[in-house]
Amino acid sequence: MTTEEVLQALTILKSHYPTWQAPVVTFVAVSKGTPYQVLIATLLSLRTKDETTREATKRLFTRAHTPEKMLTLSEEEIARLIYPVGFYRMKAKRIKEITQILLEKYNGIVPDTIEELLTLPGVGRKTANLVITLGYHKPGICVDTHVHRISNRWDYVRTKTPEETEFALREKLPVSEWITYNDILVAFGQTICKPVSPLCKSRCPVNHLCPQRGVERHR
């Protein structure tokens, strides 16, 4: 697909997006979540199902929704509140570490640059981009497995890793679409453009534009 075709596909998908379940971190952000809450919710969402993350996030933020309050909780308390998210013990440790750093080094304010965010323990490019885009509404492209898969399936990029996809998209995709690209493609990937046997003919509204690169079986 060309950039023009990708933009056309995004326009179509935007009209269908409200009928899909939004990613959890987006839910936190549009619910007036702070950059700190977006950061913590993103960490909880890694390798965890959306509904599990949603409930864990609600439990945790009911007890502590600021760095100052989070630091009053023990690592064991945090682990209990976020269970059963994936790697909940390690994530509880990371939350304490990150919160301590934010209070000591940044006066409790989450950094607003990818470079600084990447210095925090356990924060990778996906998490950093989500904080930048959803927490601070600054241009960024978050690439997870869905965005990586679909971007290659559309033959818009030809990359081997999500990080390669992010930098390729930064070169081709208009900045005006950076923030929404992740949200739309994640929801699209979860509901229709699935990893195995995507719903190309039965439900995909952009099937006529998609070259289906790498798709061996579809419905």
pLDDT tens by residue, 206-215: 999 999 999 9
Q: Does domain 24-136 have CATH number 1.10.340.30?
A: yes
Inform me whether the pLDDT recorded for 26 exceeds 90. no
Inform me whether the pLDDT recorded for 137 exceeds 80.
Answer: yes
- Predicted local confidence at residue 21, as pLDDT: 74
> What's the mean per-residue pLDDT of the chain?
93
In the chain, what are the domain boundaries?
A: 3-21+140-203, 24-136
Q: Which of 91, 96, 144, 183 is catalytic?
A: 144
The pLDDT value recorded for residue 29 is 61
More confident residue, 24 or 87: 87
Residue-wise pLDDT tens digits, 157-196: 999 999 999 999 999 999 999 988 998 999 999 899 999 9
pLDDT digits (tens, 9 = 90+) for 27-59: 676 667 899 999 999 999 988 888 899 999 999
Per-residue pLDDT at 217: 87
Report the pLDDT value the prediction gives residue 24, as an integer from 0 to 100: 66
Q: Do you know the residue count of the chain?
A: 219
The yes-or-no answer on residue 32 being catalytic is no
Neighbours of 114 (CB within 10 A): 16
What does the pLDDT read at residue 212? 95
Give the dihedral of Cα atoms 16, 133, 25, 202; nearest 10 deg: 20
More reliable by pLDDT, 120 or 49? 120
Options 1.10.1670.10, 1.10.287.130, 3.40.50.2300, 3.40.50.300; CATH for 3-21+140-203 is: 1.10.1670.10
State the catalytic residue, choosing from 91, 96, 126, 183.
Answer: 126
pLDDT band at 1 (very low <50, low <70, confident <90, very high): very high
- Clarify whether 58 is annotated catalytic: no
Q: Report the predicted TM-score, pTM, of the whole model to 2 decimal places.
A: 0.87
Contact (Cβ atoms closer than 8 angstroms) between residue 60 and residue 40: yes
